[in-house]
Amino acid sequence: MIDKGEYSFSTCWNSKKHTNGRDMVEEIKGLGFRYVELNYNVTEEMMRTIEPMIDKGEIGISSVHNVFPFINDEDYDTDSVMLGFDDEEKRKRSVELLIRSMAYANRYGAKAVVVHPGEVPFAYNIDLDLKKLYQDHGRESAAYQALWQNMMERREQLSPRYTKRIQDSLDEVSDYAAKKGWAIALGIETRSRSYQMPTLMEAKTICDNLEGSPVRLWYDIGHAMMMDRMGLYDNLKELEEVKRYIYGVHIHETLGLSDHWCPYVHSKDPHYFDHFLEAIDMAEVKVYELKAVCQPDEIDESHRLITSKIAARKGQ
């Protein structure tokens, strides 16, 4: 087991296999992590056994993932219009839920709340069809390109409207946090579906317009790789433009359009992930967000490669 130092580990790896919060966190501690990110599947019941661990300093909380703790309501799950709802009551409820997540983050001494801010709404999950066409026929196929164009026309038409509404909602939350004196970043996360927000440039727009607020970019590396492959944006090029906005990172690698794999280890590519080492190194909060099939030895090896490569880049 390697001591993972300042790196944190998301409970998305094992939250679905545990009902007892302490057991879940102890398993993560067993991987060598001193910090965890509490994801949106963690329940209030699980927190009853985790809170004493936090109070005693047995574990540190790097971040919580909105909506936290878990609520059983599809309107406000991880894939919803969320802070961009046209329905004002739903939008206000989304704002209240984000404030609730921030309150928990403050209580637990976390540095950030990870936020899925919203999406351009479609009548159905068009991204699912796009991914199937991509896998069956390829990105350059006529079928993929036709559906992609259909999706992009609506996305580009409505993006300014939803960007503005998300921005206004984040502004409300930021004002509330300032009045409370909370020093917690709001990290708007790069997403895994092509109609979801923000793209890197949408995130830049929001951060620029809310300069001086706690709103920053949460760079999910695997999701950004996936969106680059699908054609939504040029990840490596635009990463150079948004690096200074990054507060936190979700560390994982994408194989094709399948995400949350251990970098380097599962792709067997010893070099491509190097593009993201600078972003990881400069991020205030560094969180591994891996799927349940990732094994402890694979997690160790991935971490060893990442940290040794970062040290070599810095001449250490």
2 within a domain of the structure (yes/no): no
204 within a domain of the structure (yes/no): yes
89 within a domain of the structure (yes/no): yes
209 within a domain of the structure (yes/no): yes
The whole-angstrom distance between residue 149's C-alpha and the CA centroid of its chain comes to 26
What pairs with residue 218 in β-bridges? Answer: 189, 248
Q: Are 144 and 224 in contact (CB under 8 A)?
A: no
208 within a domain of the structure (yes/no): yes
What string of pLDDT tens digits covers the 316 residues of the chain? 789 999 999 999 999 999 999 999 999 999 999 999 999 999 999 999 999 999 999 999 999 999 999 999 988 988 999 999 999 999 999 999 999 999 999 999 999 999 999 999 999 999 999 999 999 999 999 999 999 999 999 999 999 999 999 999 999 999 999 999 999 999 999 999 999 999 999 999 999 999 999 999 999 999 999 999 999 999 999 999 999 999 999 999 999 999 999 999 999 999 999 999 999 999 999 999 999 999 999 999 999 999 999 999 988 6
Q: Are 200 and 238 in contact (CB under 8 A)?
A: yes
- Report the interhelical angle of 21-29 vs 44-55 (nearest 10°): 50
Q: What CATH number is associated with residue 69? A: 3.20.20.150
1 within a domain of the structure (yes/no): no
Q: HEC states along the chain?
A: CCCCCCCEEEHHHCCCCCCCHHHHHHHHHCCCCCEEEECCCCCHHHHHHHHHHHHCCCCEEEEEECCCCCCCCHHHCCCCCHHHCCCHHHHHHHHHHHHHHHHHHHHHCCCEEEECCEECCCCCCHHHHHHHHHHHHCCCCHHHHHHHHHHHHHHHHHHHHHHHHHHHHHHHHHHHHHHHCCCCEEEEECCCCCCEECCHHHHHHHHHHCCCCCEEEEEEHHHHHHHHHHCCCCHHHHHHHHHHHEEEEEECEEECCEEEECCCCCCCCCCHHHHHHHHHHHCCEEEECCCCCCCHHHHHHHHHHHHHHHHHHCCC
Q: Are 41 and 11 in contact (CB under 8 A)?
A: yes
Give the up-direction half-sphere exposure of residue 183: CA atoms within 13 A in the CB hemisphere. 1
Predicted local confidence at residue 315, as pLDDT: 81
Amino acid (one-letter) located at 294: C
Predicted local confidence at residue 100, as pLDDT: 98
- Report the interhelical angle of 235-242 vs 200-209 (nearest 10°): 10
3 within a domain of the structure (yes/no): no
β-pairing verdict for 185-189 and 118-119 = unpaired
The token pair that represents 15 in the structure block: 């939250």
Predicted local confidence at residue 316, as pLDDT: 67
List CB contacts of 35: < 8 A, sequence separation 6 or more.
6, 7, 8, 9, 59, 60, 61, 62
Instruction: Count up the domains in the chain and report the number.
Output: 1
Give the residue numbers spanning the domain of 118.
8-313
Predicted local confidence at residue 8, as pLDDT: 98
Predicted local confidence at residue 78, as pLDDT: 87
78 within a domain of the structure (yes/no): yes
CA distance 174 to 179: 9
